[in-house]
Amino acid sequence: MLRRAFRQRIYGMQKMNQKLFWQLIERAYDPQCAENPCDGLKNTLQGVPLGDLVAFNIIYLNYRKSLYTPSHIAAAYLINEGVLNDEYFSMYTEPLVIAPEDCFTDVMVRADGLMDHAVYERVLLLDPYPFSSVPEDIGDQRFGERWRHSMAEALATFSFRRLNDVTLDGKKGVEIVTRDLCRTLVPRLYASLEGICEWYN
């Protein structure tokens, strides 16, 4: 009953946008919705129309794309103990976007902010895949081929990023990561984690 009332209140005549996206994420963390955020998101997205479910997924991917910056590459390098490639960086970006909006907004512009938000002590240790796959799972279950076709259309115009798309001082991707870069961009993460990384420059 609570879930139905929430869906009726939050959707109304709205179309999916960034504001609504974050309302849905926040709702997933509400203990009245479910015991854990993954189940909370499942419960919340059950009533989302097909077009809005596709839009939710694209907004999620766009937020992940916004994290392709030198500071986040440095943070991911440290968190992954000096091992980083496109797959590892993708795994780094997934849980960052599933935190509440105030946490993500801060960390998006200030990667060292990971040290300030208790939620990241939890989400960075979890496998984010069950959470990030919720829209896909619900889309498949509720809409089947219509979901897959709609997502394929949406992704046809979506531009994914790779580490090598990020350049700095003539270097690209993981090549930009140095001790000096980490000290400058993510000093607290560097102070905590530099000892577990192998440094080549």
Residues in the chain predicted with pLDDT less than 70, given as ranges, are 1-14, 122-129, 201
- pLDDT score, position 132: 81
Q: Kindly report, residue by residue over 23-81, the tens digit of the pLDDT.
A: 999 988 888 888 888 888 888 898 899 999 999 999 999 999 999 999 999 999 999 99
- pLDDT score, position 187: 97
Question: What pTM was estimated for this model as a whole?
Answer: 0.88
- What ranges do the domains of the chain cover? 2-196
Q: Among residues 161, 199, 158, which one has the least CA distance to residue 74? A: 199
- pLDDT score, position 13: 45
Give SS3 for 172: strand
